[in-house]
Chains A and B, each alone.
Chain A
């Protein structure tokens, strides 16, 4: 596994998945690898009873547990699952976890972009073979959707709302009738979906104005809104855990300082909510203040400490990283960030040396 930058979920957590499958006594929907209860345990953590005793399963998704339950049950039914939310709220991760746990595959994915065409969603052709043999199954290049239908697994459709609406609508017939017709193949061109097939879409709420989904397509999905993590302690935990995993994958043997992680978690939380823990109102930046961004800033500072520094994260480096993450979309965000540090300086400089150094480093914000 170590030769990949980011191994798929089913590879990364293969041991836990195998353990859950081996000890799963619950009822499974057709073609599923695990029962809904085991899928839930895989995603939100818990214990699994094995003949050797109870084994702990780590929590992978932090947030609304009921949402995970609803998502699992939706996927076991006839409707697709649409995960919507702000960027960086772990929609993609949840979609991967669900696919890996239910079908054992998380890589059957269509990436939605402004340039996504109907071919990419349904099927295309190997033109050399098409010219040589004519329209036949061998010449067909199946899309992830077609693969999902044929194998009875989930197809993931990332960033669906970035795709033009008329292209999105090509999903309607597939989701309604569970059939995909390939007219070029004649009588053999009727693909019926096998049990276990379903679609998980993700949509970014910041993009929704670009290509609003049609009502017809909306009706074929159950929607789940993934909210940002609103608990500072939880956000700190996520930063620490993710940074440790990223550090281990990158062979960075640098200790993760939980106090620095807390510093960053508090900053992100307060800028996102527009109010400090002490109750002072601060201006919210236009940039996305997601936990994923916080992890990225923290890991960047950790890398800097490992390659250029003393092995400990310097507050000034963290502030520089924060500047790069926050001030990229709107020029007013720099002023808002400075304003936050000025406000925080008044309230938090007494909180300890680390906060003091962090606030002092903000003088360099330019």
Chain B
């Protein structure tokens, strides 16, 4: 058994991460033992961040963020990037150990291997290399094996969390540190005894303990009273190791600069919760923090759990009432009495979270417990988990991007100290900050931080909703936002700089002009000029041989050119780019006459774009475009829709060509049945670019009528889809006008054409009956 000897040169204090009772007993042990140094389980290269974490301006939860980029392939051939957090909250024993050292005026030091070395010494899929191994303070080990399951059965509790709360968190508060350490050591030693050496080696435990033991021994050379605070699972191993004369040395690797590092970062209660999926720490972190804060303040554990659980019940009732779930004072009283009664029945001094959950289940949920009726339970869990986000006080250690992010959040009054999702309406052109705020949010979105998402607003990438003048954003700060910002530190020291550099890199690596134009739209939204990319973009425009890629880029550049004044966007590059795209497209256009069916519509759309440009921005290129269209119509093989669209545009440029367009249509009409079917496609293309042709003269209507009446029902059904599309270019008023024209041809009125005759109900029933009788007779 591991002794708790206050006269020994080293005192091991086993803890469970984030446990209030461990923190409370640790603080008492530190008072009793009066160490000269406190050694804490944590990567040794982060020791310099201890004063930052305990500094005045720092608010928990906070974390140390570690990253490692395996450029030297020390872990695997994949050159993967790794990252993890070491979270701290007020109930974390490690944090309280640092605070105790500060209070005693002694040094606190981390003693574990650096993050990268742990990874190198861990087998794939184990320890910190597990997929969910993003938390350094993983204490899943406490529930390894069947030992704890048997304990739960024996003690008639439902889960390890309930067992821990009953026998450690609540009962442990009333023990002396000596007794508490004994109980902790017993539990942890028994759990460890069920773990094989092979497993310990595979997940890096042994090598880490070698490092920690070597650091403890080194400290013992220098100091006569050393307090060691580590996860309870490691304590038996460390104790054995320091008895040995020599400890196996751990090889350290030379890691290139910039490939590994650690930063202090804000963390959230939501992420600190054990239910979050990292299997680290404890459930209900906010509740744990409330408990330890009161323990430290009141210096006595009596009644703290009971009071805090009652406070939660009251808050839950209030929050439920806000959601129209009636919870009365009588319900709160019933829940309180149930909670205390359960604690008594379960042999506990005070009720804890397990009892609070039971009380809400029984007294607040009216009726069958199911997903919809369990809202009060969800509220309770949410309240106990907390939604706060911490803050790092000493900005000297704050990564520059995070510092800039916080500065911008403060400037725009964005709530960044809560994990509760926020919604924001941003008027783009109202006030002085509208556009700036939008640009900041677009920058955060561009960086891929996950901080915000635009729910509504103009979609310039898709060229839709351009007329919207407001954006609706949802945003939420999570530890992942900080992690992404830290990862992007190499791209720049401000968010704007990082975005500029990333955008520039993207434009330089894109071969397709459409992709580069997509990034240009991003820059436009972020308010970042692309003038510096002139050479690169023009080069890409010249080298991209994909007609549709250049067509898409043309559309983007045109949108940006049209909106740049409204968006106060500095630019001198859009017009040259538009001209470059235009020239390239008109050059290739004749060769595109025979596109596959699935691309014909897109081609027609590009042709319309080109035509529109010759009408506005590039009027000097009208002749060039006309020539290109004529060349297209002269191609021996043409897609009928493209042909139609080209003829439509030519009609718009030169009205005399309308006769030719009619002649082409006649050609389709006089052809064989498959050719006639193509007539529908031709009409579709024609109407897409020149729908007014229908209204100027009746000839096209007559031809369309001729086309339709010459077909059998089956053939008509076959051409119906393209025909429907052709007429979709008309407005309802134009369709009504067309119907009137057709009606005149047949000497009738448009209503009877559009809506048909209403059949008498009785007549219809009679017809049906007749049908049935006939079928019956035929079936005999």
Contact = CB atoms under 8 A, between A and B. Distances in A.
Nearest to B158: A66
A327 to B, nearest CB: 26
Interface in A27-49: 36-37, 40, 44, 46
A205 B368 contact: yes
Max chain A CB contacts within 10 Å: which of B158, B331, B363, B365?
Answer: B363
B338 A225 contact: no
Interface in B329-380: 330-331, 334, 337-338, 341-342, 344-346, 358, 361-363, 365-370
Contacts of A222: 334, 338, 362-363
B156 interface: yes
B367 A208 contact: yes
B368 A84 contact: yes
Nearest to B338: A73
B326 interface: yes
A219 B331 CA distance: 8
Given A70-B358, A222-B334, A223-B366, A77 B341 contact: yes
A85 B368 contact: yes
Max chain B CB contacts within 10 Å: which of A44, A73, A225?
Answer: A73
B328 interface: yes
A98 to B, nearest CB: 14
A296 interface: no
B338 A74 contact: yes
Given A78-B334, A223-B365, A73 B345 contact: yes
Interface in A178-234: 205, 208, 213, 215, 218-219, 222-225
Interface string A51-94: 00000000000000110011011101111000011000000000
A46 B369 CA distance: 28
Interface residues of B, number: 24
Nearest to A36: B345
A219 B330 contact: yes
A73 B342 contact: yes
Nearest to A220: B330
Contact of A73 (B158, B341, B361): B341
A224 B158 contact: no
Nearest to A70: B362
B367 A84 contact: yes
A72 B366 contact: no
Interface residues of A, number: 28
Max chain B CB contacts within 10 Å: which of A66, A69, A225?
Answer: A66
Max chain A CB contacts within 10 Å: which of B334, B345, B361, B370?
Answer: B345
A40 B345 contact: yes
Nearest to A73: B341
Contacts of B331: 219
B156 to A, nearest CB: 6
Nearest to A26: B345
Contacts of B337: 73, 77-78
Contact of B342 (A69, A85, A205): A69
A282 B697 CA distance: 65
Contacts of A78: 334, 337
Contact of B362 (A37, A219, A223): A223
A268 B706 CA distance: 68
A115 to B, nearest CB: 24
A70 B342 contact: yes
Nearest to B162: A66
Given A219-B366, A223-B362, A76 B341 contact: yes
Nearest to B357: A66
A271 B7 CA distance: 65
A218 B365 CA distance: 10
B341 A36 contact: yes
Contacts of B326: 215
A219 B370 CA distance: 18
B334 A72 contact: no
Contacts of B334: 77-79, 222
Contacts of B370: 225
B358 A69 contact: yes
A124 B778 CA distance: 72
A72 B345 CA distance: 9
A219 B330 CA distance: 8
A292 B273 CA distance: 40
A215 B341 CA distance: 25
Max chain A CB contacts within 10 Å: which of B326, B334, B368?
Answer: B368
Contacts of A46: 156
A37 to B, nearest CB: 6
B366 A69 contact: no
A74 B365 CA distance: 14
Interface of A: 36-37, 40, 44, 46, 65-66, 69-70, 72-74, 76-79, 84-85, 205, 208, 213, 215, 218-219, 222-225
Interface of B: 156, 158, 326, 328, 330-331, 334, 337-338, 341-342, 344-346, 358, 361-363, 365-370
Q: Which 4 residue pairs are nearest across A and B when measured between Cβ atoms?
A: A73-B341, A225-B369, A222-B362, A218-B366
5 contacts: A65-B156, A70-B342, A74-B338, A77-B337, A222-B338
Given A69-B358, A223-B362, 17 more contacts: A36-B345, A44-B156, A69-B342, A72-B345, A73-B342, A73-B345, A74-B338, A76-B341, A77-B334, A78-B337, A218-B366, A218-B367, A219-B366, A223-B365, A223-B366, A224-B361, A224-B362
